């Protein structure tokens, strides 16, 4: 069949390409069958809607009639949204890495007619530059080689496929507190002690590494200086949108000034979560302000139905960051000359600019807070500039609803709502949770992606990991046991559909092959921009074991950790699993016994004011007993007053009835 076949797709990314002269097909049985029938190789292009370099390659090559003619003559051309099909993306990205190539998006892969990878790269220019050949030259070369030298192609395809099909080596080894200390110490040595984050550029927020450092510090009873430094610079740098709120995906420099302007839901979920944890530890007003601003951005710009959109584009009208940058005259036109001068001085907006002749607002030169009166004026000025900015052309929004990313945001919103006593945030989190778990459920399974009335496929392990994290966060924020019931149900599906005992982990895709089979089922062990699904699930299993008393959950977490941390010290790639190990070794089990009338609510609020990652809260009263395996099982109120018990490693504190006595117990490690 001739022509471009993307117009009926749900993905905003695929729809960006529906008018290309390239004869694009969506990934699926029909496209794969066409390649086999015609014996033409496959050109596989994978990207996402907010991706700047994806747009560049599209403008240069996919919208070019001459380039499209070469593609259509020689290839079956398949376009994939990596966010809709993380399984396809992970398989072929892993294949590229197995070839010794650097990964990234757009991902451009050359496949045999039977869809096996042979060679690939990322962005290819339309004319030879950057030390790379022209894209059309590459297209002609690969197709010619496939037909003229099939043996060479067969040899090239075997290595990456064999690599991906090889089960990981499971190396058991002792897991001790020293294992965690060594992991945390390694990351601490890599931190940029001037700007925060890992040394060098580009700079990514790396929230999973920040969590590892925060947990390391918590074991010694003090906030992490490295996390404080990093969060301050993230909060004051240009990577943070000072006018509208929200964090960009990464900074191209080594001091968080110039962002790659796309905003991703998952980045902001993890940013809010880490800010919440660190605000609870430090009380620093900057962190609370950034939490409130980012949640404001979330509700204002990312709300879709009852849930949240996937991303905002890096580009506006083909220009990166155009919506977000300012010149002094533009600020003066909104605020007037006097206030504009003060604002521009505070936010580094100059005639020379700091980005292609314009300025990205930032507070890196004025990181310390001004007086309360000055900060209040700057807040009013930002609101006025945001109203003016709203009249500019806006970046595109990918408004599909992804279950996994929404799960992360719901969990962050629930924890932030409980910490900041924002009942409205908890209600929004609960509403989004209902949306992704009820309206998105089909045949007893969650779905992965939804846009309007269109659903795309049943859920991946990442979706269940996100939903599980959301359920547990909502339970801890509300103490509603319905969320525990849901969490147990999610684990049951994971165990039935995704568990692979041979590798000691959950596969990304279901064993019942809901989708067309790839030549391997990805194993989500390595962290990416978010913790791996395996790490998220293992962490949740530890918490769920404490809350329900079911030892099987902890035993499954132990099996995962033994299999994939036993003799491995890949801390950068498996920081999420090290965090799960900390959860297993250092979980603080807090029990509050008593009713509201007996003062239980005050104790619960006190626990939440001193929350951190490795805390699990249960409440018992009257006929509501704690699980029999819980260390505080059988404990009672004291003299008609509710009592709290702080338990570690199976041993509990004496009963605490005074809220002021709880904080030292939650922090003390002896």
588-667: which CATH number, 3.40.30, 1.10.10, 1.10.20, 2.160.20? 3.40.30
The model's pLDDT over 188-228, given as tens digits with 9 standing for 90+, comes to 999 999 999 999 999 999 999 999 999 999 988 888 999 99
Tell me the C-alpha distance between 439 and 446, whole Å.
Answer: 9
The CATH class given to the 12-165 domain equals: alpha beta
Q: Which of 113, 137, 347, 399 is closest to 242 using CA atoms? A: 347
164: preceding bond cis by omega (within 30 degrees): no
Q: Which of 123, 125, 126 is closest to 109 using CA atoms? A: 123
Tell me the C-alpha distance between 89 and 76, whole Å.
Answer: 18
So what's the pLDDT on residue 158? 59
Q: Which of 564, 567, 566 is closest to 167 using CA atoms? A: 564
Lookup: tokens for 267: 């980045």
Q: Which of 153-162, 201-210, 386-395, 482-491 has the lowest mean pLDDT?
A: 153-162
Tell me the C-alpha distance between 615 and 558, whole Å.
Answer: 18
φ, ψ of residue 45 to 5 degrees: the values are: -120, 120
So what's the pLDDT on residue 439? 67
Dihedral angle sign, alpha carbons of residues 49, 266, 230, 237: positive
Tell me the C-alpha distance between 172 and 562, whole Å.
Answer: 6
Tell me the C-alpha distance between 61 and 70, whole Å.
Answer: 10
Q: What is the pTM of this model?
A: 0.94
Task: Please tell me what DSSP assigns to residue 166.
Answer: S
Please, are residues 331 and 349 in contact by the beta-carbon 8 Å criterion? yes
pLDDT higher at 81 or 128: 81
pLDDT band at 326 (very low <50, low <70, confident <90, very high): very high
Residue 159 CA from chain centroid, whole number = 31
Q: Which of 79-88, 196-205, 568-577 has the lowest mean pLDDT?
A: 568-577
Q: How many CB atoms lie within 10 A of CB 152?
A: 12
Q: What residues have CB less than 8 Å from 117, skipping those under 6 apart?
A: 92, 95, 96, 99, 109, 110, 111, 157, 160, 161
Lookup: tokens for 13: 């990314």
Tell me the C-alpha distance between 463 and 448, whole Å.
Answer: 6
- Ramachandran region of residue 588, left (φ > 0), alpha (ψ -120 to 50) or beta? beta
CATH topology of domain 177-315+398-586: Glycosyltransferase (1.50.10)
φ, ψ of residue 317 to 5 degrees: the values are: 50, 50
pLDDT at residue 96 tops 50: yes
Q: How far is CA 114 from CA 97, 157, 395, in A?
A: 20, 11, 38
496: preceding bond cis by omega (within 30 degrees): no
Tell me the C-alpha distance between 262 and 321, whole Å.
Answer: 8
pLDDT at residue 92 tops 70: yes
pLDDT at residue 515 tops 60: no
Please, are residues 372 and 422 in contact by the beta-carbon 8 Å criterion? no
Q: How far is CA 279 from CA 104, 284, 582, 621, 668, in A?
A: 33, 6, 21, 31, 19
So what's the pLDDT on residue 584? 96
Lookup: tokens for 668: 């003390």
Q: Return the HEC string of 169-232.
A: CCCCCCCCHHHHHHHHHHHHHCECCCCCCECCCCECCCHHHHHHHHHHHHCCCCCCHHHHHHHH
pLDDT at residue 414 tops 90: yes
Task: Please tell me what DSSP assigns to residue 133.
Answer: -
The CA radius of gyration of the chain, in Å to the nearest whole number, is 26
Please, are residues 413 and 429 in contact by the beta-carbon 8 Å criterion? yes
Q: How many CB atoms lie within 10 A of CB 159?
A: 14
Task: Please tell me what DSSP assigns to residue 237.
Answer: S
- Residues facing residue 260 across a β-bridge: 250
- Residues facing residue 647 across a β-bridge: 589, 652
Q: Which of 226, 314, 309, 214 is closest to 266 using CA atoms? A: 309
So what's the pLDDT on residue 128? 83
b/e for 604-638, b at 16 or more Cβ within 10 A? bebbbbbbbbbbbbbbbbeeeebbeebbbeebebe
Tell me the C-alpha distance between 29 and 27, whole Å.
Answer: 7
The model's pLDDT over 105-152, given as tens digits with 9 standing for 90+, comes to 999 999 999 898 988 899 999 988 777 788 999 999 989 988 887 777
pLDDT over 70, % of the chain: 94
pLDDT band at 670 (very low <50, low <70, confident <90, very high): very low
So what's the pLDDT on residue 164? 62
Q: What's the whole-number average pLDDT of the chain?
A: 92
Tell me the C-alpha distance between 480 and 463, whole Å.
Answer: 22
Domain ranges of the chain: 12-165, 177-315+398-586, 324-392, 588-667
The model's pLDDT over 339-390, given as tens digits with 9 standing for 90+, comes to 999 999 999 999 999 999 999 999 999 999 999 999 999 999 999 999 999 9
Does this chain's domain 177-315+398-586 share its CATH topology with 588-667?
no
pLDDT at residue 168 tops 90: no
Tell me the C-alpha distance between 273 and 429, whole Å.
Answer: 13
Lookup: tokens for 3: 């022509």
Task: Please tell me what DSSP assigns to residue 437.
Answer: I
pLDDT band at 666 (very low <50, low <70, confident <90, very high): confident
Residue labelled with tokens 């809709």: 84
Lookup: tokens for 467: 């939903």
So what's the pLDDT on residue 169? 62
Please, are residues 406 and 308 in contact by the beta-carbon 8 Å criterion? yes
So what's the pLDDT on residue 422? 97
Question: Is 613 in a helix, a strand, or coil?
Answer: coil
Tell me the C-alpha distance between 201 and 456, whole Å.
Answer: 36
DSSP codes of every residue in 15-72: HHTTTSSS-EEESSHHHHHHHHHHT--EEEEEE-TT-HHHHHHIIIIIT-HHHHHHHH
């Amino acid at each position: 069949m001739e022509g471009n076949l993307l117009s009926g797709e749900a993905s905003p990314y695929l729809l960006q390409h529906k008018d290309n002269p390239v004869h694009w097909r969506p990934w699926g049985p029909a496209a794969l069958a066409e390649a086999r029938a015609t014996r033409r190789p496959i050109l596989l292009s994978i990207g996402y809607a907010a991706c700047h370099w994806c747009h560049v390659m599209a403008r240069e090559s996919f919208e070019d009639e001459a380039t499209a003619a070469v593609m259509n003559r020689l290839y079956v051309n398949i376009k994939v949204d990596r966010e809709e099909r993380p399984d396809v993306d992970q398989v072929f990205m892993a294949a590229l890495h197995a070839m010794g190539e650097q990964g990234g998006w757009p991902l451009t892969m050359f496949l045999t007619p039977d869809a096996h990878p042979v060679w690939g790269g990322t962005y290819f220019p339309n004319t030879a530059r950057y030390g790379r050949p022209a894209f059309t030259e590459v297209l002609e070369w690969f197709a010619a080689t496939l037909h003229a030298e099939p043996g060479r192609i067969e040899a090239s395809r075997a290595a990456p496929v064999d690599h991906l099909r090889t089960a990981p080596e499971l190396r058991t080894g002792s897991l001790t507190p020293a294992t965690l200390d060594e992991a945390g110490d390694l990351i601490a040595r890599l931190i940029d002690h001037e700007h925060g984050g890992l040394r060098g550029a580009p700079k990514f927020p790396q929230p999973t590494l920040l969590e590892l450092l925060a947990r390391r510090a918590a074991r010694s009873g003090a906030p992490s200086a490295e996390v404080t430094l990093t969060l301050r610079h993230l909060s004051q740098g240009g990577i943070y949108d000072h006018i509208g709120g929200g964090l960009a995906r990464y900074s191209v420099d080594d001091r968080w000034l110039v962002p790659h302007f796309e905003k991703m839901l998952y980045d902001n979920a993890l940013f809010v979560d880490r800010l919440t944890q660190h605000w609870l530890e430090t009380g620093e007003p900057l962190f609370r302000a950034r939490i409130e601003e980012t949640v404001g951005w979330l509700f204002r710009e990312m709300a879709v139905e009852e849930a949240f959109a996937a991303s905002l584009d890096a580009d506006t009208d083909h220009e990166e960051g155009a919506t977000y940058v300012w010149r002094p005259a533009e600020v003066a036109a909104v605020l007037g000359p006097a206030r504009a001068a003060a604002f521009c001085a505070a936010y580094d907006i100059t005639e020379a600019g700091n980005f292609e002749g314009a300025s990205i607002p930032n507070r890196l030169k004025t990181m310390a807070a001004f007086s309360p009166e000055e900060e209040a004026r700057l807040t009013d000025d930002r609101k006025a500039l945001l109203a003016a900015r709203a009249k500019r052309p806006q970046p595109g929004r990918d408004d599909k609803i992804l279950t996994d990313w929404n799960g992360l945001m719901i969990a962050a919103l629930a924890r932030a709502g409980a910490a900041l006593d924002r009942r409205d945030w908890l209600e929004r989190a609960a509403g989004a949770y209902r949306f992704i778990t009820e309206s998105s459920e089909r045949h007893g399974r969650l779905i992965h992606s939804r846009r309007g009335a269109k659903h795309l496929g049943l859920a991946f392990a990442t979706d269940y990991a996100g939903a599980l994290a959301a359920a547990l966060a909502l339970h801890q924020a509300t103490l509603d046991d319905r969320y525990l019931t849901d969490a147990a149900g999610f684990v049951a599906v994971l165990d039935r559909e995704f568990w692979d005992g041979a590798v000691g982990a959950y596969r990304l895709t279901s064993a019942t092959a809901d989708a067309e089979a790839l030549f391997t089922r990805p194993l989500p062990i390595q962290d990416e921009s978010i913790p791996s699904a395996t790490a998220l699930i293992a962490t949740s299993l530890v918490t769920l074991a404490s809350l329900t008393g079911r030892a099987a959950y902890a035993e499954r977490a132990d099996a995962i950790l033994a299999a994939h941390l036993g003799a491995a010290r890949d801390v950068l790639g498996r920081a999420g699993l090290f965090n799960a190990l900390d959860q297993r070794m250092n979980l603080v089990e807090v029990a509050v016994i008593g009713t509201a009338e007996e003062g239980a609510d005050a104790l619960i609020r006190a626990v939440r004011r001193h929350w951190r990652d490795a805390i699990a809260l249960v409440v018992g009263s009257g006929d509501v007993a704690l699980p029999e395996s819980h260390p505080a099982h059988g404990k009672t109120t004291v003299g008609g007053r509710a009592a709290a018990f702080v338990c570690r490693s199976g041993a509990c504190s004496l009963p605490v009835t005074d809220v002021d006595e709880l904080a030292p117990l939650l922090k003390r490690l002896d």
